[in-house]
Amino acid sequence: MYKTILGIETSCDETAAAVLQKDGDSIKVLSNIVASSSELQSTFGGVIPEQAAREQLKAIIPVIETAIKDSGLMIKDINAIAVTYGPGLIGSLLTGVETAKTLALTWQKPLIPVNHLIGHFYANWIYSPSAISSQSSAISEKADSRKLTTESIPTFPIIGLLVSGGHTDLVLFTDHNKYEYLGGTRDDAAGECFDKCARLLGLPYPGGPQISKLAKLGDASKVKLPKPMLDSGDFDFSFSGLKTAVNNYINKNKEYDKADLAAALERTIVEVLVAKTMAAVEKYGVNQVMVAGGVAANSALSEGLRRNLHVRVFSPSHNIFCTDNAAMIAAAAFFSKEIVDSLKLQANPNLSL
Ligand code: KG4
Ligand code: ZN
C-alpha cells in the first residue's frame, strides 16, 4: 500500500494532476490541478479531439509541476504514479499515458493504470470542503482529509451510478476491485443528452449546468416528454429519443418557454436515473448508492435519490470531484492491486467496466 500517489488524468478535454496521501484511515488531497480547454470547446459546441490533445500537450508538464509544487512535497516523497489509460479520446489518453510512463521510468516509481470509469466512483472516497484558489484556465484546490469511517465514506455492497458526458452505467460493487456491470445506456449518455438538448435551446457547452440553472426558473409540468425505458425491466438506458422529442417540441412550439422545457428535461432524466437506480437497490438488497461523473453535480439528481430514505446516498464532496479530475484517479490507485511495467502500458480508448 502506497502512502503518496501522483495522479494524472487526460481522457477528454481536461489536463489534470493531483497528489494524494493516505494517512492511516484518511485520504488527504495535497494538491489538485485541473486545466480545462472547455472554454475553447464551448466556442465549437463540443470537444474537438485534435484540439483537446494539442492543448493537453502544452499543459501536461506545467500542470504536473504545479501539482507537485502545491503539494509541498518533493519528487522523492511520491511513492507511485497513477494514470488514466482508458476509455477516452486516443490523442488525449496518449498525452497522459506517455507522460506517466516516462516519469515512472525516469523517477523510478511504480505505475498504476486506472480505468477512468472506476476512477469516477473513487471521487466518493475524497473529501474537500474548500476551494483555495482559482485561475482562468486552471483550478487549484487544497482539501482536508476525510476520515475513512462508515459515517463518511461508502462501504460494500453498494450500487454505483456513473453519469457523465460519455457514460451512464449502473454497477454493483461488492468490494474494492470487485464489481458487476448491471446495465448502461444503449445510445447517448445522460450528460450527452443534457449537452445536445442545451445546444438545441441555444445554450453553451457544457449544457448540463446551464439546463439545471434554467430549470430552476421553469415549470416542468407544462411540457410532456417521454420517459425512455422507464419500464423496460432491465438496467439499460436510452436518451437519444429524448433529444429528438425536445427537438420536435421546439419545432412545433415556436413561442416555447425555455425554462419550462429545461425543467421538464431535467425532471425526465432524473426520474429515469432514480427509478433504475432504486430498482437495482431493491433487486440486489443493498442500502447504499454512490453517484459519480459530471452529472452527479446535478442537485435535482441527488435530491431525487435522497428522497428514498431507506438508502444512504453518497456523492462527491465537491463538484470538482464530479467532473474529470486527477484526485479521483489517485484515490482509486490506493485500492488497486494493478502495477504495470512502465514501458508496456498502452492507452485503450475503448476500455470498458
Ligand atoms: O465526467 P465528466 O466531466 O466528463 C466525462 O467523463 O464525460 O462529465 C461531463 C458531463 C457533461 O455532459 C456536463 O454537461 C455534465 O457532465 N454536467 C452536468 C452538470 N454538471 C456537469 N449535468 C447536469 N447537471 C449538472 N449540474
Ligand atoms: Zn469522466
Q: What is the pLDDT along the chain (353 residues), one digit of tens a residue?
A: 899 999 999 999 899 999 999 987 678 899 999 998 766 556 666 668 888 888 899 999 999 999 999 999 999 999 999 999 999 999 999 999 999 999 999 999 999 999 999 999 999 999 654 432 333 233 333 333 444 444 578 999 999 999 999 999 999 999 999 999 999 999 999 999 999 999 999 999 889 999 999 999 999 999 999 999 999 999 999 999 999 999 999 999 989 999 999 999 999 999 999 999 999 999 999 999 999 999 999 999 999 999 999 999 999 989 999 999 999 999 999 999 998 999 999 999 999 99
**Cα(159) to centroid of ligand 2, in Å?**
18
pLDDT of 39? 63
Q: How far apart are CA 177 and CA 125, in angstroms?
A: 14
Q: Is 119 in the pocket of ligand 1 (CB under 6 A)?
A: no
| Nearest one of 346, 22, 292 to 169, comparing CA atoms | 292
Measured from the CA of 165, which atom of ligand 1 is nearest?
7
Contact 290, 121 (CB under 8 A): yes
Smallest CA separation from ligand 1 atom 16, residue: 294
Q: Which residues have CB atoms below 5 A from the ion given as ligand 2?
A: 164, 324
pLDDT of 42? 61
Smallest CA separation from ligand 1 atom 22, residue: 208
Provide the grid cell at 350: 475503448
Going by their DSSP bridges, the two strands 80-86 and 111-115 should be labelled as: parallel
pLDDT of 128? 53
pLDDT of 146? 45
**Cα(221) to centroid of ligand 1, in Å?**
24
Smallest CA separation from ligand 1 atom 21, residue: 294
**Cα(191) to centroid of ligand 1, in Å?**
5
**Cα(323) to centroid of ligand 2, in Å?**
6
Q: Is 294 in the pocket of ligand 1 (CB under 6 A)?
A: yes
Contact 312, 289 (CB under 8 A): yes
Phi-psi region of 300 (alpha: psi -120 to 50; beta: other; left: phi over 0): alpha
Measured from the CA of 323, which atom of ligand 1 is nearest?
3
Please calculate the CA angle 142-148-149 and round it to the nearest 5 degrees. Answer: 135
- Residue 182: strand, helix, or coil: strand
pLDDT of 46? 64
Q: How far apart are CA 113 and CA 13, in angstroms?
A: 19
Q: How far apart are CA 115 and CA 351, in angstroms?
A: 7
**Cα(110) to centroid of ligand 1, in Å?**
31
Using alpha carbons, list the distances in angstroms from residue 174 to 112, 154, 158.
22, 11, 7
Amino acid at residue number 74: M
pLDDT of 169? 98
Best substitution site from 295, 303, 328, 353 to test ligand 1's pocket, by max atoms within 8 Å of Cβ? 295
**Cα(297) to centroid of ligand 2, in Å?**
12
Ligand closest to 207 (CA) is 1
Measured from the CA of 88, which atom of ligand 1 is nearest?
6
Q: Is 203 in the pocket of ligand 1 (CB under 6 A)?
A: no
pLDDT of 104? 98
Going by their DSSP bridges, the two strands 26-36 and 14-23 should be labelled as: antiparallel
The pTM score is 0.91
Ligand closest to 315 (CA) is 1
pLDDT of 13? 87
